[in-house]
Structure 1
Amino acid sequence: MKEASPPIATPSSTPPAPAAPQGWDFSHCTATLADDPDGARDYAEDWYSHGGGLEAEQCAALAQMELGDVATAAATLDRLARVPDWPAGPPEGRRGNRQAVVETSASRLRRASVAEAAARAWQADDSPKQAFDSAIYGLTLAPDDPALKLVYARVAVELGQPQRAIDMLTPLPSAPAARDEALVARAGAWRKLGRIDQGMADINAALHDMPHNGAALLERGILYQRQGQMEQARADWLDVVKQAPDSDEADLARQDLALLETDPEAP
């Protein structure tokens, strides 16, 4: 197992900073994450130095993830998810005594979302065991959260535990978008168990709602291959590459196409 990188350094040894200026908030901090992660990190660090607290640390971690320091971001997000009473944190003088904190439902949900972000960061760092731990912790805070269930299921498949993924995703979420993502993940779990027909039923249900989804087309191509339907597999993988040539799914589809060209009859 990889050793977790140290958490993001914060100026804990300095005297308490003044309150954050009006107008500084989490949504503003994260607004430029994709386009200007350096700027988001600078904003977060400045905000933290002016009393930004847990939210400023979360934004800094998300910026570090965008900048490629995924392990540090994951470790920080996991740590933050375990701090009670978001976003303010426990009152001064009781920070080491979690029993003294009466936490609100809103705080638990916020921490669950941070745990889900931590799990996704660990996934990006190719650390599935840590991702699983973060997802499990998040589910103790929000047992019915569809996003946490989905990341738990994906990591369970990655860890060779497809039945746990199926159990987590059954019954399916009621919201259409979450349901379709769960169908794709569950199809992969059925495939790992060798239950190709059930996987195909799930993936076709997902593609009925989102016919151009790269992850779903990639998975259906694999299922077609397992059924020996090589032309259908090739068509789906070519469709993935055509629709989103720069995506991770397209890279995987190219690998599958290359293997198909090498051994067209391989199941």
Structure 2
Amino acid sequence: MTALAEPRLAAGTGARVGSPGNATAASLSVEFRGVGRSFPGLEGERTVLRDLTLEVAPGEVLAILGASGCGKSTLLRAAGGLDTGNTGEILIGGRRVAPHDARTAVGFQEPRLMPWRTIHQNVSLGLPHGTGRAEGRERVDHLLELVGLAAHAGHRPREVSGGMAQRTSLARALARRPGVLLLDEPFGALDALTRMRMQDLLLDIHARTATTILLVTHDVDEALQLADRILLLGRDHAPDAAPGASARTVLTVPGERPRDRGSAELAALRSELLDGLGVDAHRR
């Protein structure tokens, strides 16, 4: 594996794509500088992240892998300003993250839709404050077309499948025109076939919007399909490691997307990742 000691990537503001009415915000860099996070516990303070430093380039897809409790979702929440108790510094586009940072949008494992609203109305909830009615309708119509739900705009959440509900959630996050899209196990509750279709959809969306994506996942194959790089989080068990110290590894995924799921090169990297997660890739 390649240790977390890579050249700094050039920060920037990315490029605006699409028509003026439907363009996403410029994709933004994300920089973690010595980030740490601890929580109080019954036996004292529990550290889940310590001194994490990493830069994500504008438009990059970074997958975050690791066992439960290693700080994946904590890191994602900190990047969006949803958790401000961390130490160190997080920058988006060169500026510090603000509480509930408007430059980001979050997609969760559950769609979290309002059951009494239509699909169109649920997506509209993601529009930035102050968006005009005509502009907002155009934006939502465009996003529903993008995620293949234009024909279901008037349906309620109970009238669509789980995969369609998750597509609605993704469209709602994109309605905010985020420079950084934060996804926390967004496809974890879906069946295997629907999950693969959603992965393909996310790649299509990324090709059209070029937004920076940070994706938390437990699925090694999903990370290999979607990411430019993979951040593997774990515990540092070295004798001289500080309590709660995090071991980090960053790996670059070879090949352009969409990737061949049967690639021998990806299979080798998959084994390396599983080994890093403490899983025997050859055990049946």
TM-score of the superposed pair, with normalisation by structure 1: 0.30
The structure with the largest alpha-carbon Rg is 1
Greater RCO between the two (CA within 8 Å, min separation 6)? Answer: 2
TM-score of the superposed pair, with normalisation by structure 2: 0.28
Bigger helix fraction: 1
Bigger strand fraction: 2
